[in-house]
Every structure is written in C-alpha cells, then in structure tokens.
Structure 1
C-alpha cells in the first residue's frame, strides 16, 4: 500500500512543492548568515581626535597623523581628512555597535566610514543615509524607508572598518543618520545619529 502511495502522481507533486518551498525559504532567509561573519578591514582616514588636531595645529610628531602645517583643517586647501559629523550605533533588530562618521577628504569629497562595526550578518543589507531620527528600541526598526534617503551600497561586511563614497550633491545637512538596512525584510539592524563634529 505504501509503495502505491509513493508512486501516486499527487505524492510526487507534493514532494516537488515541498522541495521548491524549502529551497525558496533557504534563499529568502539565508539562515546560515546568522552564524557566519564577514570581516572587513579597510584603510580609514587618518583624522585628528583632539581640538588641536581639528583646528589644523596638530603637532607634526603625533603618531598616525599627517602633518598639516598652518593650514586650517576645514579650509578647501586642507591636506588631510576632516571629520564632519559622527555618532555611535544603537541596536535595532540585531545587536549593533561601532562608530559612524562622515569624513571630508583632502580633495573635498565626502565618505561615510564605519569604525569598528559589529552587527549580525543577514540577507540584502544596505548602508543608507537618512533624514529620519534615530529611535531606540522597536520604535526605530522600520522608520528609515519613510523619508528621504541615499543608498551608499551593500554592506561590505558585518564586522570591521569600512568606507563608502557619498555621492556628490548629497544633502548632508538633511541626511543626518545612517542605518544598516535589511532591504529584504524592511528593517534596521542598527543606526546612528550623525552629530556635527566640533
């Protein structure tokens, strides 16, 4: 009786449907990413961390800092990168930590740098600049696709240091937060408010 049942066309259809469903579920949720990490260690900008460094008067013997002479760091002719704004990540759907900072490079362009990022891996993760306010807890999970945003690309890795070019013309006065956004499930893994450096 069991052999007849196994040979029935409906049984094969059911097996095929279950197989396709399982394959789709694996593709959609990608559960293996929960237990795997992608480490990225890109070279970040050598920027100052003290008021003296921010004003362009950094001692030339400071370790890891490029001398600038008497040129103010914020001037168009500055020869070193300058931090424009920064913020610490807060956790949303997944535990997330690290620092986000907008850096103006010596040639006047901007880039977002993620310093010491540590979050979960996941499917279809993107890096967005947004005009939405960062909220803690579940209230902040789904707000970032409600307003204006600029996508900087797919997340390169869920851990480590990484940088993303900010497209020319991006309104950094309005887009004052950054989120690690899961496009597939429309949820923020973590986000940071970008506060002007001073």
Structure 2
C-alpha cells in the first residue's frame, strides 16, 4: 500500500511539474530570444495633391509648380537608442510627412526579440543603466503599437491627437515584464 501511494505522489508531482513548465514556456517564450524578425519598410511616400484650378497631369512632372509639389518628409526630432535590459542600437526619428501627419521611424534597429514588445512614446527621461529599465510606465506614455520586428527599419503613424513634443523619449517596452529593452531621447532638429 505504501508503494502505491508513493507512485501516485510521483505521478501527481510529474503532472504538476509538466503544467508549470508548459505555463512557463507560454509566459516567457524563451525561443523568442533566438528568433529574429527583420522589417525593411520605406518611409511613407509623399503624394502630390493638386490644388483646385491648378494644372493636372497634362503638365510634365519636371515643370510641377509649388502648389502641386509635395513638401516631402522632414525630420523634426531624432535620437539614438541606448541599451537597457537587452543590447539595443539604432536611431529613431519623428518625421513630418507632406500631408502634415507625423510618423515615428526606427532605423537600423537591432535589439533582442521578446514577448509582447511595444513602441512607446513617454514623458520619462532616458536614464542609462538599470536605473532606466522601469521608468517609462511611471508617468504619461503612448503605446503606439506592437513592435513589428526586432531588426530593421519601420514606421509607426502618430495619432493626430497626440502632441509628440510632450513625450521626449521612445522606449522599446516589454509589456509582459514591465521593462525597457532600450530607449532613445528625442531631440528637436
């Protein structure tokens, strides 16, 4: 009878251990650290919008007038990433598009992959070292989107109702573990 109880306990312990390991794998997603997702997006192109009464496509493009020529994308702020929880490099830009909208652009991004990574605008200061790992959710922040890839160039449209100048930093934020993988201070150009 004692042997039967011991076997039952071992089986129960094995089942509990298997459930804990499975839950841990689902929660932590350790394989994400070795799987890179590379994104190569071009900066959104400007589209010329003729004003009423202006010549249209009958005019050669080389003779476009100022009223039909796009003003083109203009970088209005920029910064370079520093590493926090994981080694992170690359640059970030706020780009004003010809239509007046703004895009946050990551260029040459290189960081670790991870579970639930987000791109955040924040009012928190960028701090080097472990002091900067967890500050970005303490004040105001805007969760722009899920990070498209942990490497490459990518664009994130800024909502029209967001005053990006009120958020002087950008973080690659792991929402699962409330930690910054890397961050950049935005400086107006």
The interval holding the TM-score normalised by the smaller chain is 0.7 to 0.9
1:121 aligns to what SS in structure 2?
A: coil
TM-score after normalising by structure 1:
0.79
Looking at structure 2, the residues matched to 4 and 156 of structure 1 have their Cα atoms a distance apart, in angstroms, of: 53
1:26 aligns to what SS in structure 2?
A: helix
Looking at structure 2, the residues matched to 170 and 133 of structure 1 have their Cα atoms a distance apart, in angstroms, of: 18
TM-score after normalising by structure 2:
0.83
2:101 maps to: 109
C-alpha RMSD over aligned residues: 2.3
Which stretches of structure 1, 4 residues or longer, exceed 3 Å deviation after superposition?
3-7
1:173 aligns to what SS in structure 2?
A: helix
Does residue 126 (structure 1) correspond to residue 118 (structure 2)? The answer is yes
1:138 maps to: 130
List alignment gaps of at least 5 residues for structure 2: 47-61
How far residue 92 of structure 1 moved from its aligned partner, in angstroms, is: 0.5
1:6-46 alpha-carbon deviations (Å, 9 max, x no partner): 752x3332121111100011011111111121111111257
Does residue 151 (structure 1) correspond to residue 150 (structure 2)? The answer is no
2:18 aligns to what SS in structure 1?
A: helix
2:164 aligns to what SS in structure 1?
A: coil
Match of 1:172 among 138, 157, 164: 164
1:35-64 alpha-carbon deviations (Å, 9 max, x no partner): 1211111112579xxxxxxxxxxxxxxxxx
Looking at structure 2, the residues matched to 118 and 130 of structure 1 have their Cα atoms a distance apart, in angstroms, of: 20
1:168 aligns to what SS in structure 2?
A: coil
1:142-185 alpha-carbon deviations (Å, 9 max, x no partner): 00000101111100100000001111111212111100000011
Looking at structure 1, the residues matched to 31 and 164 of structure 2 have their Cα atoms a distance apart, in angstroms, of: 36
Looking at structure 2, the residues matched to 101 and 25 of structure 1 have their Cα atoms a distance apart, in angstroms, of: 36
Paired positions, count: 171
Does residue 82 (structure 1) correspond to residue 81 (structure 2)? The answer is no
Looking at structure 1, the residues matched to 145 and 81 of structure 2 have their Cα atoms a distance apart, in angstroms, of: 18
2:100 aligns to what SS in structure 1?
A: coil
Determine which structure has more spread, i.e. the larger CA radius of gyration: 2
